[in-house]
Structure 1
Amino acid sequence: MSKSNTFENDLLKLIFNGTPIANIADNAGSSPLTQLQVSLHTADPGEAGSQTTNEATYTGYARVAVVRSTSGWTVTGSSVSPVNPIEFPAATGGLESLTHWAAGTDSSGAGKILYSGQISPSINVSNGVTPRLTTGSMITED
């Protein structure tokens, strides 16, 4: 089972940019999300996980909101990546290795993960480290 490359690209544009898919879906709901909440994870949250599954716990950590539009996300070739680096709060305590990131719905709690991907190379967090996802951080719909 698979989707066409064109539809994969359209689906990513709908979710990350709020771009309608003609005759199928639009973004005109009564209160569509205007931002996606990006979270960091110490292991793959998996398809059954939420944004709290394996989520970072270093002191100072918080999810980061990224605008749901072409100024927040680049969609091309069935892949999505941030337009600008996504910088998370600096660690003020704790040690952990961050291996995955996710785009989800909630700023805290068990938000719905829309997509997740691997961080390569992983980010080792310790006091004073500011985790950052680069524009090369990509999720592919394939």
Structure 2
Amino acid sequence: MSKSNTFENELLLLLLNNTNIANVGDATGLRGSSAAGVLYVSLHTADPGEAGNQSTSEADYTGYGRVSVARTSGGWTVTGNAAANAAAITFGACTGGTNAITYFGIGTSETGTGKLLYSGALSATLNVSNGITPEFGAGELDITED
């Protein structure tokens, strides 16, 4: 079973841009939050999987922390059933330890287990060691509903 293309687009807009979905539920539709808030992008050394959370296989180099991204069109670009980060996402510089980053995640919490909404594989492993500052340019983190 799959979602319609229209609903895939509306779902991404609701989750990433805080845009209401009309004609779902009561007369006001499926409503976004009263304040858009943020989501948190995380880095992972393996696939967190569908049963995982934000801390599953999460990066642990010294200096690492999740990065907040606004739930607005300034944070995420949504076109059809696809979305991507609208601006660069820069993580803390590594000051100790090493990680081989293979996945990214998008979740609800700044720290701790948190609800993982999406995760995806990177196109190439990102090797992080002392002095490396992981960064993804605008449009480099892709999300697809299908």
CA distance in 1, matches of 2:37, 2:33: 11
| Cα shift at 1:33 | 5.2
Determine the structure 1 residue equivalent to 2:11. 11
Runs of 4+ in 1 over 2 A off after TM superposition: none
Report the number of matched residues: 140
- Residue by residue over 1:6-55, the C-alpha shift from the partner in whole angstroms, topping out at 9 and shown as x without a partner, is 111110000000000002211145xx551001110001111110100000
Residue identity opposite 1:114 in structure 2: L
SS in 1 for 2:16: helix
Determine the structure 2 residue equivalent to 1:39. 42
| Cα shift at 1:137 | 1.6
SS in 2 for 1:129: coil
CA distance in 1, matches of 2:124, 2:144: 17
The two structures have a TM-score, normalised by structure 1, of 0.94
Determine the structure 2 residue equivalent to 1:27. 32
Are residue 121 (structure 1) and residue 124 (structure 2) matched? Answer: yes
Assess, with a 3 A threshold, how the Cα gap between structure 1 residues 33 and 92 changes in structure 2: closer, same or farther. same
Residue identity opposite 1:137 in structure 2: L
CA distance in 2, matches of 1:128, 1:120: 22
Residue identity opposite 2:141 in structure 1: S
Determine the structure 1 residue equivalent to 2:27. none
| Cα shift at 1:77 | 2.4
Residue identity opposite 1:26 in structure 2: R
CA distance in 1, matches of 2:33, 2:13: 14
Residue identity opposite 2:99 in structure 1: E
Determine the structure 2 residue equivalent to 1:136. 140
SS in 1 for 2:8: helix
| Cα shift at 1:94 | 1.0
Question: Does the 8 Å contact 2:106/2:117 carry over to 1?
Answer: yes
Determine the structure 2 residue equivalent to 1:86. 89
* Structure 2 gap ranges (5+): 25-29
* Structure 1 gap ranges (5+): none
CA distance in 2, matches of 1:21, 1:93: 45
Aligned-residue identity in percent: 54
Please tell me the root mean square deviation across aligned C-alpha atoms, in Å. Answer: 1.2
CA distance in 1, matches of 2:125, 2:116: 20
Q: Give the structure with higher Rg (CA).
A: 2
CA distance in 1, matches of 2:16, 2:33: 14
